């Protein structure tokens, strides 16, 4: 059973005792970080619809509460860059079936020789260290009961670099390495480890954040592209990997819109049909 329509925002006590795998009767508890928008919010909604009891984590409490209200999950104000915040989440979810580590983002498109190291630090801090903190804190809960599943939201940027992507590609490559190392370290334990690596996804914030709020440059990323991926498309991949039998581990799922052949080969016109 999911708790549709009973969303609450919590920094601590209100979800205690209510979110355990044994208590939900459905697919168990799914924790989604970065859940206040984009792929995280869409994943929370899709997982709730698929029968998970969803805990949504993100920094922006108001926005998070609104998403939780829509999806029927529980909101937990979470900053993955803050170890205390992550530790406090861990005390609230003793049994976790699924962790979707979605908190992340891109900041800047400057070439390596001109980039601001602060942007790179921020990307590494959220995408990589934030994921590591959450995985570490929730691992006991993931190993409880029948075991669990860690899904990291990587990027095609983590698998092939492009000009202007040095910082982001590096951070997502590190996230991919973290994910693969984790799978090796957990071999012999009942925990699946999956990286989902999307290409071009049009969300409300990703490119806007990357271009420092410059709407025109953010929109230009998707100009002319027939149907970039949506957050919901990626969420469907999360549900696909999670819903497979528990002995089936999707190691890496790379997903792009049809109009994108690789990171830099993008058709910016309607797809041609016929001869």
Contact residues: ligand 8X3, CB under 6 A = 155-157, 165, 168, 199-200, 263
Considering the complex, what minimum distance in angstroms separates the CB of residue 195 from ligand 8X3?
Answer: 12
Nearest to ligand 8X3 of 66, 110 (CB atom): 110
Nearest to ligand 8X3 of 61, 164 (CB atom): 164
Considering the complex, what minimum distance in angstroms separates the CB of residue 206 from ligand 8X3?
Answer: 7
3-state secondary structure string, the chain?
CCCCCCCCEECCHHHCCCCCHHHHCCCCEEEEECCCCHHHHHHHHHHHHCCCEEEEEECCHHHHHHHHHHHCCEEEECCCCCHHHHHHHHHHCCCCCEEEECCCCCCCCCCCCCCCHHHHHHHHHHHHHHHHHHHHHHHHHHCCCCCEEEEEECCHHHCCCCCCCHHHHHHHHHHHHHHHHHHHHCCCCCEEEEEEEECCECCCCHHHHHCCCCHHHHHHCCCCCCCCECHHHHHHHHHHHHHCCCCCCCCEEEECCCCEEECCEECCCCCCCCC
Nearest to ligand 8X3 of 133, 159 (CB atom): 159
Told to judge if 168 belongs to the known catalytic residues of this protein, a careful annotator would answer yes
Nearest to 162 by CA among 259, 268, 260, 263: 263
Nearest to ligand 8X3 of 44, 201 (CB atom): 201
Nearest to ligand 8X3 of 168, 211 (CB atom): 168
State which residue has the least CB distance to ligand 8X3: 155
Nearest to 204 by CA among 182, 221, 192: 221
Considering the complex, what minimum distance in angstroms separates the CB of residue 42 from ligand 8X3?
Answer: 15
Q: Choosing from 107, 162, 168, 211, which is the catalytic residue? A: 168
Q: Which of the residues are catalytic? A: 168
């Amino acid at each position: 059973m999911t708790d549709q329509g009973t969303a609450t925002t919590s920094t601590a006590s209100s979800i205690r005792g209510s979110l355990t795998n044994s208590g939900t009767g459905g697919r168990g508890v799914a924790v989604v970080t970065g859940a206040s928008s984009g792929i995280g919010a869409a994943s929370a909604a899709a997982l709730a619809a698929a029968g998970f009891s969803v805990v949504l984590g993100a920094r922006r409490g108001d926005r998070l509460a609104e998403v939780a209200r829509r999806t029927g999950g529980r909101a937990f104000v979470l900053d993955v860059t803050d170890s205390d915040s992550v530790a406090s989440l861990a005390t609230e979810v003793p049994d976790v079936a699924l962790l979707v580590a979605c908190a992340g983002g891109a900041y800047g498109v400057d070439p390596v020789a001109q980039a601001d190291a602060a942007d790179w630090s921020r990307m590494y801090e959220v995408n990589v260290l934030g994921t590591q903190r959450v995985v570490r804190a929730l691992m006991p809960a993931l190993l409880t009961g029948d075991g669990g599943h860690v899904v990291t939201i990587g990027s095609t940027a983590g698998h092939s670099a492009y000009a202007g992507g040095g910082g982001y590609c590096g951070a997502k490559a590190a996230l991919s390495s973290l994910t693969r190392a984790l799978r090796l370290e957990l071999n012999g334990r009942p925990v699946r480890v999956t990286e989902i690596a999307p290409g071009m996804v049009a969300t409300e914030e990703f490119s806007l954040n990357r271009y420092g709020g410059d709407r025109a440059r953010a929109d230009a990323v998707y100009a002319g592209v027939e149907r970039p991926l949506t957050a919901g498309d990626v969420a469907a991949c999360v549900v696909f990997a999670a819903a497979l039998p528990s002995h089936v581990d999707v190691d890496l799922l790379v997903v792009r819109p049809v109009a994108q052949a690789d990171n830099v080969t993008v058709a910016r016109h309607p797809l041609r049909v016929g001869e």
